[in-house]
């Protein structure tokens, strides 16, 4: 495809804008080979699936096209990027790991391009970090990251993401103590928030909301009970949007970056990036308190989060482990 490099540069420069992606797709369709047509159609379909006016009948048709193209071609689309990360023979240990376990983490396509990554932090720092400048990364989930915060802070591209989540190594909150210590040693503020987890168990809640039925105020639906009016309006948006509801109700490791970002967006809207949130940390499993809320640690560059501290979901600033 002519001018592919320039078209990709425009997408990377304007990652939140659909126009450069659509332009890229139209140029692929002009090439006309089965592979380029499938890639162009996939980008267009994924852009349509994000539309706020998406209807259920259209969603079903688009979803089937997306699944067909993804299942047939995604390995081929990913291969050049994964191959570029492979270890050379002079790195025998890493070469063997690549041979046994593959290269890179779990990648998510959104709006036609790889936008999400889920990977162990150590692996990300060596391999997936090379995706920056090659695809418009927006959401990243890193596991086993507690002791690697200083190294992650040196990667400036992480500052421009929509969301960065660090997931504790164990199922117990005690693992987060290590993360807190490294964050504070790196001059990050650590703020504790609590709110319920968005998950597949909200199917009944979504059905009530779609049918305009009243929702019980008790803890039958912690996601709803804990939400203020602003958060409830965002829950309604998710349940009415076929694409977003699908992500919630059909759990899949591929969707983890998007699910975590949606969960934070429900309760805090778009204030996270505005307030300088660098990352959000959680334990491997959400250990719910008596209010069915899970613990979240917000890692913030100093002095940037005064507005967030006014949130009803804010608990405290952690000043020592």
State how far the alpha carbon of 261 is from the alpha carbons of 25, 248, 256, 281, 314, in Å: 26, 11, 9, 12, 17
**Confidence bin at 274 (pLDDT 50/70/90):** low
Q: What is the DSSP string of 35-102?
A: HHHHHHHHHHHHHHHT-TT--HHHHHHHHHHHHHHHHHHHHHHHHHHHHHTPPPTT-HHHHHHHHHH-
Which pLDDT tens digit goes with each residue over 111-128? 999 999 999 999 999 999
Which pLDDT tens digit goes with each residue over 216-273? 776 789 899 999 999 999 999 999 999 999 889 887 777 889 999 999 999 998 877 7
**Confidence bin at 168 (pLDDT 50/70/90):** confident
Question: What is the pLDDT at residue 199?
Answer: 84
Instruction: Give the residue with greater pLDDT, 272 vs 19.
Output: 19
Question: What is the pLDDT at residue 321?
Answer: 64
Q: Compute the Cα dihedral for 257, 187, 168, 267 and give only its sign.
A: negative
Which pLDDT tens digit goes with each residue over 51-73? 888 888 888 899 999 999 999 99
Alpha carbon distance 244, 121 (integer Å): 27
In this structure, of 38-47, 181-190, 248-257, the range with the lowest mean pLDDT score is 248-257
Question: What is the pLDDT at residue 291?
Answer: 77
The whole-angstrom distance between residue 272's C-alpha and the CA centroid of its chain comes to 14
What strands lie across the sheet with 277-282, from one edge to the other? 106-110, 113-120, 139-143, 163-167, 277-282, 294-301, 188-195, 314-317
Question: What is the pLDDT at residue 128?
Answer: 96
Instruction: Give the residue with greater pLDDT, 192 vs 216.
Output: 192
Instruction: Give the residue with greater pLDDT, 2 vs 63.
Output: 63
Mean pLDDT of the chain: 88
Q: Report residue 314 as tokens.
A: 């804010």
* Torsion angle of C-alpha atoms 94, 99, 103, 107, degrees rounded to 10: -150
Alpha carbon distance 106, 296 (integer Å): 23
Contacts by residues 13-17 (CB-CB < 8 Å, ≥ 24 positions apart) = 15/136, 15/138
Question: What is the pLDDT at residue 71?
Answer: 95
**Confidence bin at 20 (pLDDT 50/70/90):** very high
Percent of the chain with pLDDT over 70: 92
When pLDDT is averaged across residues 4-31 and rounded to a whole number, the result is 95
Other CB atoms within 10 Å distance of the CB of residue 77: 18
When pLDDT is averaged across residues 123-148 and rounded to a whole number, the result is 95
Q: What residues contact 233, with CB distance under 8 A and at least 6 apart?
A: none
Q: Is pTM beyond 0.85 here?
A: yes
Which pLDDT tens digit goes with each residue over 66-103? 999 999 999 999 999 999 888 765 565 565 566 555 68
The whole-angstrom distance between residue 92's C-alpha and the CA centroid of its chain comes to 32
């Amino acid at each position: 495809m002519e001018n592919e490099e320039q078209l990709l540069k425009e997408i990377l420069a304007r990652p939140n804008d659909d126009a450069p992606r659509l332009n890229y797709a139209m140029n692929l369709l002009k090439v006309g080979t089965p592979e380029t047509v499938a890639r162009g159609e996939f980008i267009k379909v994924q852009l349509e699936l994000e539309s706020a006016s998406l209807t259920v009948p259209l969603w079903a048709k688009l979803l089937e096209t997306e699944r067909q193209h993804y299942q047939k071609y995604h390995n081929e689309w990913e291969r050049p990027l994964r191959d570029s990360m492979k270890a050379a023979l002079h790195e025998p240990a890493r070469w063997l790991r690549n041979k046994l376990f593959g290269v890179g983490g779990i990648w998510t396509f959104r709006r036609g391009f790889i936008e999400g990554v889920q990977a162990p932090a150590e692996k990300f720092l060596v391999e997936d970090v090379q995706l920056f400048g090659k695809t418009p990364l927006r959401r990243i989930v890193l596991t086993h990251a507690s002791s690697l915060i200083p190294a992650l802070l040196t990667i400036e591209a992480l500052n421009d993401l929509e969301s960065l989540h660090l997931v504790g190594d164990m199922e117990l909150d005690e693992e987060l103590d290590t993360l807190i210590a490294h964050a504070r040693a790196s001059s990050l503020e650590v703020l504790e928030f609590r709110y319920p987890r968005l998950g597949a168990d909200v199917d009944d809640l979504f059905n009530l909301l779609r049918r305009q039925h009243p929702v019980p105020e008790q803890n039958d639906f912690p996601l709803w009970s804990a939400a203020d009016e602003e958060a409830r309006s965002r829950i309604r948006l998710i349940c009415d949007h076929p694409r977003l509801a699908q992500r919630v109700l059909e759990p899949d490791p591929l969707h983890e970056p998007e699910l975590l970002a949606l969960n934070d967006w429900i309760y805090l809207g778009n204030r996270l990036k505005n307030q300088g949130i660098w990352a959000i940390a959680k334990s491997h499993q959400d250990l719910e308190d008596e209010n069915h809320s899970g613990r979240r640690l917000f890692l913030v560059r100093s002095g940037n989060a005064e507005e967030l501290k006014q949130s009803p979901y804010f608990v405290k600033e952690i000043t020592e482990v």
